[in-house]
Amino acid sequence: MDTIAVDPDLYAAQSAYAPDDWQSETTSIRSSIYRGLMDNGRRIPSDEQQFETYEAGHLVDLILDSDRDNPLFRSPIGADRERPLQVLDIGTGKGTWAIDVADMFPNATVRGVDLFPPPVTWMPPNCVIEVDDVLQDWTWRERFDLIHMRNMIGSFDNAEWDRVYEQCFEKMAPGGWIEQLEVGPFITSDDNSLPEDSALASWGPILQKCGDRAGRPCDIVLTMPQSIKNAGFVDVHEKVYKWPIGPWPRDQKFKEAGMVNSQHWMSGMEGWCMWLLTKYGDPEPWTKDEVHVFCAKLRNELKNPHYHAYHKA
């Protein structure tokens, strides 16, 4: 994979590394996609930190694919804007992806399903959010042209993953696609700027160990192509992204993605690790205070301009 070039002017602009406030950080981002979301009134700060985290992950996705006509998915459907499409978003969270797809494809009916209702105030007429558990037998009568999943890491154990993929396969329309994007847990750097003994470098191995102990693997990004094939899907493609953390890249697109991803981590990390570490921490379950200290270290390191950190997705 290509190395992401480091911004040589970075150290003169270290203020970019004081992102204590989400709003001041993100309002400095000039990407047209981000502006579009702001203009649509979608980027309303949520009381719920988790929704802020989901939104940041969505933005990183959009920024990294902002050079594509359709940054929302890669499956080769939707070119014929007249043909009706059935789309399902499993674990839709705040519903942002489902709403954006419904906006972009008025010919599609987009269903977002989640265990919890999202705090959505506006919905395109062709988008439906349903509260349901996808581990139960699916009762949808439709067959889907696209089934989408994103950031479902930790949601299911191995048997549950198999069941979810099997139900996806059963409910596919002829020629339909499944598309999944997951973030890898391992944080690294190409230029060895991230010390091996840093908290950031330890995140992946620690979370992987806890996930294995919990029976909820954290490295599904590595195994999902095979799991998808096991359910019967053919013509499986893989696209690996580098998600920079922080504004260290020289290239504007990666810099913007890195700034938003830094906030993604700042707001998300405690929620991602608290349950795993306090239940399945190694060698003993961690205390809440220990998790807070770990997260404080991670947050400090996220602000270090000398660490050119990224993870894959």
- Contacts with ligand SAM by CB under 6 A lie at 54, 57-58, 91-93, 113-116, 133-135, 150-152, 155
Is the Cβ of residue 126 or residue 151 nearer to ligand SAM in the bound state?
151
Is the Cβ of residue 98 or residue 108 nearer to ligand SAM in the bound state?
98
Least distance to ligand SAM from the beta carbon of 83, Å? Answer: 25
Helices (H) and strands (E) in the chain, counts: 9, 8
In three-state secondary structure terms, 240 is coil
Least distance to ligand SAM from the beta carbon of 158, Å? Answer: 14
* Residue 68: C-alpha distances to residues 5, 61, 64, 73 (Å): 21, 11, 9, 10
Least distance to ligand SAM from the beta carbon of 121, Å? Answer: 17
In whole angstroms, give the CA distance from residue 215 to residue 309.
28
Is the Cβ of residue 15 or residue 121 nearer to ligand SAM in the bound state?
121
Least distance to ligand SAM from the beta carbon of 105, Å? Answer: 18
Is the Cβ of residue 93 or residue 211 nearer to ligand SAM in the bound state?
93
Single-letter code of the amino acid located at 196 = E
Nearest by Cα to 310 from 240, 244, 241, 250: 244
Residue 80 burial (CB count, 10 A): 9
Strand 310-312 versus strand 242-244 pairing type: antiparallel
In whole angstroms, give the CA distance from residue 265 to residue 282.
22
Report whether the peptide linkage leading into residue 283 is cis, meaning its omega lies within 30 degrees of zero. yes
Least distance to ligand SAM from the beta carbon of 239, Å? Answer: 16
Is the Cβ of residue 133 or residue 196 nearer to ligand SAM in the bound state?
133
Report, in angstroms and rounded to the nearest whole number, the Rg of the chain calculated over CA atoms: 19
In whole angstroms, give the CA distance from residue 250 to residue 143.
44
Least distance to ligand SAM from the beta carbon of 285, Å? Answer: 22
Is the Cβ of residue 88 or residue 200 nearer to ligand SAM in the bound state?
88
Is the Cβ of residue 155 or residue 227 nearer to ligand SAM in the bound state?
155
In whole angstroms, give the CA distance from residue 127 to residue 112.
8
Least distance to ligand SAM from the beta carbon of 90, Å? Answer: 6
Which residue is it, tokens 């795993």? 276
Nearest by Cα to 89 from 114, 68, 115: 114
